[in-house]
Amino acid sequence: MNEFLEHGLNQNRRKFLSKLSLGIGGLALGSLMVPGIFDASNEEDLFANVLPHFAPKAKRVIYLFQNGAPSQLDLYDYKPMLQKMHGEELPASIRNGQRLTGMTAGQAKFPLAGTKFNFAQHGANGGWFSESIPHIASMSDELCIIRSMYTEAINHDPALTFFQTGAQVGNRPSMGSWVSYGLGSENKNLPAFCVLLSTGKGNGQGVYSKLWNNGFLDSIHQGVQFSSGEEPVKYLTDPAFIDRGDKRKILDEIASLNQEAYNNIGDPEIVTKIQQYELAYRMQMAVPEITSLQNEPESIVKMYGPECLAPGTYAANCLLARKLSENGVRFVQLYHQGWDSHGNLPAEIVGQCKDVDRPSAALIKDLKQRGLLDETLVIWGGEFGRTNYCQGALSKDNYGRDHHPRAFTIWMAGGGVKPGVYGETDDFGYNINSLPVHVHDFHATVMHLMGIDHEKFTFKHQGRRFRLTDVAGKVVNEIIS
């Protein structure tokens, strides 16, 4: 028995150490704060010492998630054929057996709907863009446009969960949590993984805290919700009747009393607690300094659009994303709702683009002009695409589109991706003709850009070694510069 217990004891000793440093780090904001948080010697944290596996192309990621699935056919994937055949039935040979959502399953006919927007080619790589996104189009030479994305889920929740966690169901860690776990935070005063939320005018689908959940990883890798408002982080602001000096006094009292308790009881957790209160105090100074947008020069405000000063808008979140990113946050995840246009798509998508076009482009310009784009990977895309046939009533210039997992478009910029257009769909924009990219491949590629071999990057949980890419995924080398 002895050697067995001895073994157990050693493990505990290790856990104990890690627990301490983890305590110092703390939930979510954990990676934040104290240097050496990732130096603990327990299995989970070993990666900090071996990652990145190789030279990373991207140090940070900004993921502009377009929640609800924007229509690739009305933004990036130009299909004159659809306009020619507007109103005609989708050939069964094209659809061959693709499953339908309950919404169109009942539909007797599947009339093709050509986009009502004018398209034009922009930039050297000749990417096509709809007139509704002029600013993004103007950045064409920076963009790596993947027209051949496909996924497995056909409903929002599973599809979104799949994109964020690599699995359609269950409590798996989010992409950002994986990165936080693997690489930690650059700036010890900010979490490695931040989440920014905004809602557009279009048909919303909601987001779920599950999407930035740490799953079985330690809770310090959970995404932390940030905003540019008065309270950038929950419970950060002091009550009106307590000023800084006052707060300092209170903290000193607490510290000295806790210290006394430690002298009597001797539990190291108490020391950790004392540190937590110090860190909290430091945070109260550091975070607002970074999240306040007031001091941005006017030309920047114009670049992102004046909405960027109104807390909670997509524009504000893009600007905040840049500030967080340049301050060393590894993974900034935006969600912008409102792309789920089952009906009245032309009107809704214009509204969405009004919110999204200018700031998205501004973010790239801004990073570029600061010399940060080459080390920051920007991703823009939804959880799946939309059908080439109409959902509901089709008129000359009004139509809706249902969910379409089989082929859709996302783009990336900076962070070591090669600008250009990758992959191609058929004339109906329904199936992928060449170079398909699965969600797992997408994950594998992003990990690769960050210097991580997705197959070696695992976490042992309930006896199984999990990875973001589950058991699949191959790096798309062609889009890496």
Residue 346, CA atoms < 13 Å, CB-side half-sphere: 14
Report the Cα 19 to chain-centroid distance in Å: 28
Among the listed ranges 72-80, 174-182, 275-283, 417-425, the one in contact with another protein (CB under 8 A) is: 275-283
Q: How far is the CB of 58 from another protein (least distance, A)?
A: 12
For another protein, the closer CB: 87 or 288: 288
d(CA 346, CA 394) in angstroms, rounded, equals 12
CA distance 403 to 385: 6
Closer Cβ to another protein, 87 or 277, answer by number: 277
Question: Which residue lies nearer to another protein by CB, 112 or 373?
Answer: 373
In DSSP terms, which residues pair with 145 in a beta bridge?
A: 411, 421
Work out how close the CB of 240 gets to another protein at its nearest, in angstroms, rounded to a whole number: 6
In the complex, the smallest distance separating the C-beta of residue 244 from another protein, rounded to whole angstroms, is 13
Interface with another protein (CB under 8 A), residue from 93, 96, 264, 395: 264
CB atoms within 10 A of CB 478: 13
> How does strand 224-225 pair with strand 127-130?
unpaired
Considering only residues 73, 113, 286, 324, which one is a binding residue for another protein as defined by CB under 8 A? 286
Q: Which residues contact 275 (CB under 8 A, 6 or more apart)?
A: 23, 24, 34
Site string for another protein, 320-359 (x = CB under 8 A): ------xxx--------x----------------------
Nearer to another protein, 51 or 144 (CB): 51
Nearer to another protein, 103 or 394 (CB): 103
Residues 292-321 that bind another protein (CB under 8 A): 293-294, 298-299, 301-303, 305-307, 309-310, 312
- How many secondary structure helices (H) and strands (E) does the chain include? 14, 17
Minimum distance, C-beta of residue 443 to another protein, in the bound complex (Å): 18
Q: Is 27 in the site for another protein (CB under 8 A)?
A: yes
Q: Candidates 40, 133, 144, 290: give the one binding another protein (CB under 8 A).
A: 290
Kindly tell me which residue out of 49, 96, 395, 477 binds another protein, with binding defined by CB under 8 A.
Answer: 49
Which residues, numbered 55-84, are part of the site for another protein (CB under 8 A)? 55-56
Alpha carbon distance 152, 4 (integer Å):
46
Report in angstroms how near the CB of residue 437 gets to another protein at its nearest.
Answer: 22
Q: How many residues are recorded in the chain?
A: 481
The mark string for 353-392 relative to another protein (x by CB under 8 A, - otherwise) is ------------xx-xxxxx--------------------
Query: Given the DSSP bridges, would you call strands 60-66 and 376-381 parallel, antiparallel or unpaired?
Result: parallel
279 binds another protein (CB under 8 A): yes
Q: Helical H runs in 370-463?
A: 439-449
Stretch that binds another protein, among 111-119, 126-134, 224-232, 419-427 (CB under 8 A): 224-232
Instruction: Give the C-alpha separation, 304 to 315, whole Å.
Output: 6
Residue for token pair 């405000």: 301
- Of 50-58, 405-413, 426-434, 440-448, which segment contacts another protein by CB under 8 A? 50-58
Q: Is 474 in the site for another protein (CB under 8 A)?
A: no
Side-chain-side CA neighbours of 301 within 13 Å: the count stands at: 11
Minimum CB separation of residue 317 from another protein in Å reads: 11
Strand, coil or helix: 408: strand
* Assigned token pair, 167: 């699995």
Dist. CA 252–CA 244, nearest whole Å:
12
Strands of 340-419, DSSP E: 376-381, 385-390, 401-404, 408-414
Tokens representing 437 are 């990219």
Asked if 75 contacts 127 with a C-beta cutoff of 8 angstroms, the reply is: no
H or E element in which residue 5 lies: helix 2-25
What tokens does 420 get? Answer: 């250009």
Residue 216 in the binding site for another protein (CB under 8 A): no
Answer yes or no whether residue 225 interacts with another protein by CB under 8 A.
yes
Query: What interhelical angle do 314-326 and 268-291 show, nearest 10?
Result: 120
Contacts with another protein, 87-126, as mask; x by CB under 8 A: ------------x-xxxxx---------------------
Contact pick of 92, 397, 463, 477 for another protein (by CB under 8 A): 463
- 103/435 with CB nearer another protein: 103
Asked if 213 touches another protein (CB under 8 A), the answer is yes
Q: Please identify, using beta-carbon distances, which residue of 87 and 158 lies nearer to another protein.
A: 158
Binding mask 172-211 for another protein (x = CB under 8 A): --------------xxxx-------x-x----xxxxxxx-
For residue 197, what are the β-bridge partners? 335
Question: Smaller CB distance to another protein: residue 4 or 108?
Answer: 4
Binds another protein (CB under 8 A): choice among 21, 26, 128, 459: 26
- Nearest CA to 64 among 430, 386, 401, 320? 320
Of the candidate spans 140-148, 254-262, 410-418, 420-428, the one that interacts with another protein by CB under 8 A turns out to be 254-262
When binding is defined by CB under 8 A, the residue of 268, 433, 478, 481 that contacts another protein is 268
How many whole angstroms separate alpha carbon 84 and alpha carbon 11?
69
- And the tokens for 73? 């056919």
